[in-house]
């Protein structure tokens, strides 16, 4: 993940200090910073552990912990009843992965290596899954607008969440039947014991920092005037996936554009098909049921992002100009959400 990220770890101490002194806005930003290296450690621990477990179990580990950071953040937001933040975070993760991360990866890879080719069949499978998930987001926004329709919205959301979860499991099974590249035992940089310990510690600290972050949202909105929607759709996705984003860009710079696509598009697919259903079901346990009725802005930008990903991956070849266009699209959308 890059050793320089470890220099951000002291932010954990600062966040605890600001929590103790009651400075919630400073605590929010310290928590944001501290989550970045912690997410990187979690990812590194998962990758090392995968070397000891074999291809299939390793793939399951990577799939499970791939978006664990953002899942933890949104769970605390869900528990606090911040449904707008949770839904915006889901949409923002899909948007950020497809436009910002993929765009930066293609741009950096294209600048360094020129035109890059990738496995368009596999990526098209991922974007097709994303397109289906987008339909699941669009349907409530179209069919469940009246008060009478809202009565059955929660039942509909539970049914769709179950379908998406089954589809995700089917996608995992399909991927496990394909030939995948995995690390050998000799390539693991950490021992199995160290990997497990670091995974447990990073998960625990991310949970703590996620609670700090969520509890500081109200202070940030009142002092800086940022909306909960902007924090959810832009800030949380960038913070939660920063280490993973960095990895995708590094892979593209090493001419491993297939892996960069897999990280960016695969992460979006996981958010839509796994994280979203988990949050829907967990909301029942918190006695605060969340539905799948996303607002007009979220649905439109997600649909456009998925459509763009399909266009980019159609020919199996990418260049730096395509990457620049994706990043430009993300920046324009982020500015619009800031003023929304």
The pLDDT tens digits for 190-229 are 888 898 899 899 889 999 999 999 999 989 998 888 888 8
Domain count, the chain: 1
Share of residues in the chain with pLDDT > 90 (%) = 26
Residue tagged 């940030």 (tokens): 220
Q: Which of 51-65, 125-139, 249-263 has the lowest mean pLDDT?
A: 51-65
Quick check: 312 and 326 in contact, CB under 8 A? yes
Q: What DSSP letter does each residue of 136-204 carry, written as one string?
A: HHHHHHHH--SHHHHTTHHHHHHHHHHHHHHHHHHHHHHHHTS------GGG-SS-HHHHHHHHHHHHH
Average pLDDT over residues 121-135: 80
Quick check: 206 and 41 in contact, CB under 8 A? no
Residue 39 — pLDDT band, cuts 50, 70, 90? confident
Residue 147 — pLDDT band, cuts 50, 70, 90? low
The SS3 assignment for 116 reads strand
C-alpha to C-alpha distance for 104 and 45, rounded to whole angstroms: 25
Residue tagged 């990043």 (tokens): 327
Average pLDDT over residues 41-68: 72
The pLDDT tens digits for 328-339 are 999 999 999 988
Average pLDDT over residues 56-74: 73
The Cβ-side half-sphere exposure at 96, using a 13 Å CA radius, reads 26
Average pLDDT over residues 138-147: 74
* Domain span at 17: 3-339
Closest by alpha carbon to 130, among 267, 238, 232?
267
Task: Quote the pLDDT of residue 184.
Answer: 55
Predicted model pTM: 0.85
pLDDT at residue 27 above 90? Answer: yes
pLDDT at residue 182 above 80? Answer: no
Task: Quote the pLDDT of residue 26.
Answer: 93
pLDDT at residue 30 above 90? Answer: yes
pLDDT at residue 185 above 60? Answer: no
C-alpha to C-alpha distance for 241 and 233, rounded to whole angstroms: 13
Question: What CATH number is associated with residue 291?
Answer: 1.20.1420.30
Average pLDDT over residues 288-307: 87
């Amino acid at each position: 993940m890059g050793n320089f990220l470890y220099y951000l770890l002291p932010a954990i101490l600062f966040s605890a200090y600001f929590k103790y002194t009651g400075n919630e806005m400073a605590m929010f930003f310290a928590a944001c910073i501290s989550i970045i290296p912690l997410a990187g450690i979690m990812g590194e621990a998962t990758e090392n552990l995968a070397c000891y477990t074999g291809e299939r179990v390793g793939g399951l580990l990577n799939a499970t912990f791939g978006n664990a950071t953002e899942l933890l953040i949104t769970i605390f937001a869900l528990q606090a009843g911040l449904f707008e933040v949770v839904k915006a975070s889901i949409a923002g993760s899909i948007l950020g992965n497809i436009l910002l991360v993929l765009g930066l990866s293609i741009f950096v890879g294209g600048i360094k290596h020129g035109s890059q080719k990738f496995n368009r069949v596999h990526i098209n499978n991922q974007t097709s899954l994303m397109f289906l998930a987008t339909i699941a987001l669009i349907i409530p926004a179209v069919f469940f607008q009246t008060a009478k329709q809202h009565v059955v919205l929660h039942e509909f959301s539970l049914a769709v969440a179950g379908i998406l979860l089954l589809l995700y499991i089917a996608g995992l099974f399909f991927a496990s039947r394909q030939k995948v590249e995995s690390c050998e035992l000799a390539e693991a940089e950490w021992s199995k014991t160290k990997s497990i310990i670091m995974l447990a510690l990073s998960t625990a600290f991310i949970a703590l920092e996620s609670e700090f972050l969520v509890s500081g949202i109200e202070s940030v909105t009142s002092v800086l005037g940022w909306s909960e929607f902007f924090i959810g759709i832009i800030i949380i996705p960038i913070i939660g996936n920063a280490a993973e984003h960095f990895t995708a860009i590094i892979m593209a710079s090493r001419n491993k554009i297939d892996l960069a696509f897999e990280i960016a598009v695969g992460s979006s697919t996981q958010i839509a098909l796994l994280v979203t259903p988990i949050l829907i079901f967990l909301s029942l346990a918190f006695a605060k049921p969340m539905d799948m009725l996303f607002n007009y802005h979220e649905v439109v930008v997600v649909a456009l992002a998925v459509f763009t990903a399909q266009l980019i991956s159609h020919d199996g070849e990418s260049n730096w100009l395509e990457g620049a266009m994706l990043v430009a699209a993300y920046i324009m959308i982020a500015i619009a959400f800031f003023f929304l």
